[in-house]
Structure 1
Amino acid sequence: MARIELEMVVKASPAACYALAMNTQAHVDSTRQTGERVIDGPSSGQLAFGDVVTWEARHLGIRQQLTVRITAASPPHYFRDELVRGAFKTLRHDHYFEAVAGGTRVRDVFEFSSPFGVIGYWFDRLFLKNYLARFLQVRNAALKYQLEAGAAA
Structure 2
Amino acid sequence: MSRTYRIKATQVLPVSQQQAWDYFSNPNNLQHITPPSMGFTVTSETDEGRIYPGLIIEYRIKPVLGIPVYWMTEITHVRPFEFFVDEQRYGPYSLWHHQHHFNPVAGGVEMTDIVHYRIPLGMLGDLANAMFVRRKLDTLFEYRRNIIPKLLLT
TM-score if structure 1 supplies the norm length? 0.88
Contact 1:21 1:143 in 2 (8 A): no
Q: How does 1:1-150 map to 2 (within 5 A)?
A: 1-31=4-34, 32-42=36-46, 45-61=49-65, 62-149=67-154
For 1:137, give the aligned amino acid: E
- Count of residue correspondences: 149
Q: What is the distance in 1 between the residues matched to 2:8 and 2:122? A: 23
**Structure 2 regions of 5+ residues with no counterpart?**
none
Deviations 1:41-80 (A, max 9, x none): 4176222221001111111122111100000111101000
How far apart, in 1, do the equivalents of 2:130 and 2:114 lie?
A: 15
Aligned letter for 2:86? D
In structure 2, relative to structure 1, the CA distance for the partners of 1:43 and 1:64 (3 Å cut) is farther
Moved more, 28-37 or 40-49: 40-49
Aligned counterparts of 1:113 and 1:120: Cα–Cα separation in 2: 8
Q: Which ranges in structure 1 are unaligned for 5 or more consecutive residues? A: none
3-state DSSP class of the match of 1:40?
A: coil
- 1:83, distance to aligned residue in structure 2 (A): 0.5
Q: 1:90-134: per-residue Cα shift (whole Å, max 9, x none)?
A: 001100101000000111111111111122123224431121121
Cα separation, 1, equivalents of 2:86 and 2:75: 4
Q: C-alpha distance in 2, partners of 1:139/1:43?
A: 24
Identity over aligned residues, as a percent? 22
